[in-house]
């Protein structure tokens, strides 16, 4: 074989060795990931892993919300299209690498991580590897409840109780404002500018309550001066009062004018029971117990007296007792033994008594059918129309 042929063979072999060496080198790789369960406003890690082809390789990563354009062809194009920088031209060592940095997602939602490896050893620093990863960022776990009485009296303090819990540091805002029929305003900023609003000031926190952990409960006393329907509107917002609420809660309170006080009405000896009852109710009081007693001065059915002095002020609906005449008292008359039943009944009625039970008993001295005696002592003063028993003689067998 000639020297020329040998030289040609060696040249070909050398070229083959060079090709084999280049193809045997590992291609650059890149993967992107984040820490587990990323949460809005909580710092998490963005991790880039892979293998670089040379010691002059640069790592660049951006992040942006999904829904728009995907990852651009390179870092500069993606950043000019709205991507925010996570890594920029981080120089890597040749071989396997792991790079991480802290990132805080300001809002919950879906995000797109875009990554590129550029080989600066080559002319034009071409992109030699790319990666993209979709990241779901959840809102923090929050709890917010509000309770208040459904009905309150104007001018009287009532309690509003609020319970809040937050996985991360958050601020709660709360307002009391007249109801317009459209529910609570969109956020705390809108509520603070609503007509007639009153901002809640918590004793331990002021106008904004910083919540981290919990659940925690706070109570405040409020007073409504004007009758009407009101809303208690509470919000947890991030990062400001103008942001859409991450959670909200509300309660409805109706303020009513309190009933007038009970003012004991006046009366006289010619005031009937029915008229007195109406006057008591009209004065903001309630009718209490009615005691009936005999009276020689006041006619039956008329008021003798009230249980409180006229003009006295009491709480609304206070019961007022009354004393009402039953007329002159029953004074048991003298009825002689042997008086007829008819005459005895007339004597009882004339003395403002009533005829009671009539019973029979044998008597040796009194004729049959005549009165033996009455069931009460002569001259005894009893309540008007008290029934007086009568004992009659019956025939002997």
Same-domain check for residues 35 and 126:
yes
pLDDT in the model for residue 106? 87
Domain count within the chain = 4
Q: Where residue 99 sits, what CATH number does that domain have? A: 2.60.40.10
7 pLDDT exceeds 50? no
Mean pLDDT score, 164-182: 96
Quick one: pLDDT at residue 25? 56
Query: What was the pLDDT predicted at 269?
Result: 76
Q: How confident is the model at residue 395 (pLDDT cuts 50, 70, 90)?
A: confident
pLDDT given at position 346: 95
What confidence score (pLDDT) does residue 61 get?
Answer: 98
Half-sphere exposure of 374 (CA within 13 A, CB side): 26
- Looking at the structure, do residues 188 and 227 belong to the same domain, yes or no? yes
Is the pLDDT reported for residue 163 higher than 70? yes
Per-residue pLDDT at 327: 92
Q: Flag whether pLDDT at 341 surpasses 70.
A: yes
User: Is the Cα torsion angle 289, 291, 292, 296 positive or negative in sign?
Assistant: negative
Q: Is the pTM of this model over 0.85?
A: no
In a domain, 14, yes or no: no
Quote the CA–CA distance of 184 and 189 in Å, as a whole number: 12
CATH code of the domain covering residue 279? 3.30.10.20
Cα torsion through 277, 280, 285, 287, rounded to 10: -20
107, 110, 114, 115: CA torsion to nearest 10 = 80
Q: Report how far residue 28's alpha carbon sits from residue 10's, in angstroms, rounded to the nearest whole number.
A: 32
Q: Which of 88, 109, 137 represents a domain boundary (last residue)?
A: 137
Burial tier of 10 (Cβ tally within 10 Å: 0-12, 13-18, 19+): exposed
* Other C-beta atoms lying within 10 Å of the C-beta of residue 337: 14
Q: Residues 148, 252: one domain?
A: yes
Whether residue 371 is found in the same domain as residue 273? no
Are both 374 and 298 inside the same structural domain?
no
What six digits make up the tokens of 233? 């509107």
State whether 230 and 313 are in the same domain: no
Mean pLDDT, residues 95-102 taken together:
96
Residue 222: asked if its preceding bond is cis (omega within 30°), the reply is no
246 and 148 assigned to the same domain? yes
Residue 277: give the domain boundaries.
Answer: 262-325
């Amino acid at each position: 074989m000639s020297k020329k042929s040998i030289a040609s063979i060696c040249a070909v072999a050398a070229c083959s060795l060079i090709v084999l060496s280049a193809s045997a080198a590992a291609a650059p790789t890149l993967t992107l990931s984040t820490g587990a369960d990323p949460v809005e406003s909580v710092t998490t890690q963005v991790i880039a892993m892979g293998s670089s082809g040379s010691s002059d390789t640069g790592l660049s990563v951006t992040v942006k919300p999904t829904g728009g354009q995907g990852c651009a062809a390179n870092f500069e194009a993606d950043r000019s299209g709205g991507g925010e920088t996570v890594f920029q031209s981080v120089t890597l060592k040749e071989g396997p690498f792991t790079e991480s940095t802290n990132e805080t997602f300001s809002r919950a939602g879906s995000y797109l991580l875009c990554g590129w490896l550029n080989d600066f050893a080559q002319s034009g620093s071409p992109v030699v590897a790319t990666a993209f990863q979709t990241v779901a960022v959840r809102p923090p776990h929050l709890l917010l409840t509000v309770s208040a009485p459904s009905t309150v009296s104007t001018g009287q303090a009532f309690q509003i109780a609020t319970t809040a819990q937050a996985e991360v540091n958050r601020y709660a805002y709360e307002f009391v404002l007249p109801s317009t029929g459209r529910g609570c305003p969109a956020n705390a900023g809108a509520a603070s500018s609503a007509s007639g609003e009153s901002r809640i000031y918590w004793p331990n926190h002021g106008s904004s309550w910083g919540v981290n952990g919990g659940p925690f409960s706070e109570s405040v006393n409020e007073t409504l001066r004007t009758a009407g329907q009101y809303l208690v509107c509470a919000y947890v917002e991030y990062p400001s009062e103008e942001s859409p609420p991450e959670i909200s809660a509300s309660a409805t309170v109706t303020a009513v004018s309190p009933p007038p006080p009970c003012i004991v009405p006046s009366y006289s000896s010619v005031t009937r029971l029915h008229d007195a009852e109406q006057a008591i109710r009209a004065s903001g009081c309630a009718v209490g117990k009615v005691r009936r007693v005999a009276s020689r001065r006041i006619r039956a059915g008329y008021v003798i007296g009230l249980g409180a002095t006229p003009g006295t002020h009491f709480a609304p609906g206070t019961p007022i007792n009354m004393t009402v005449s039953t007329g002159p008292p029953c004074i048991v008359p003298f009825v002689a033994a042997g008086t007829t039943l008819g005459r005895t009944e007339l004597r009882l009625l004339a003395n403002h008594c009533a005829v009671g039970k009539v019973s029979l008993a044998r008597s040796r001295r009194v004729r049959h059918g005549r009165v033996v005696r009455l069931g009460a002592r002569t001259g005894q003063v009893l309540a008007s129309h008290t029934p007086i028993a009568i004992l009659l003689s019956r025939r002997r067998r």
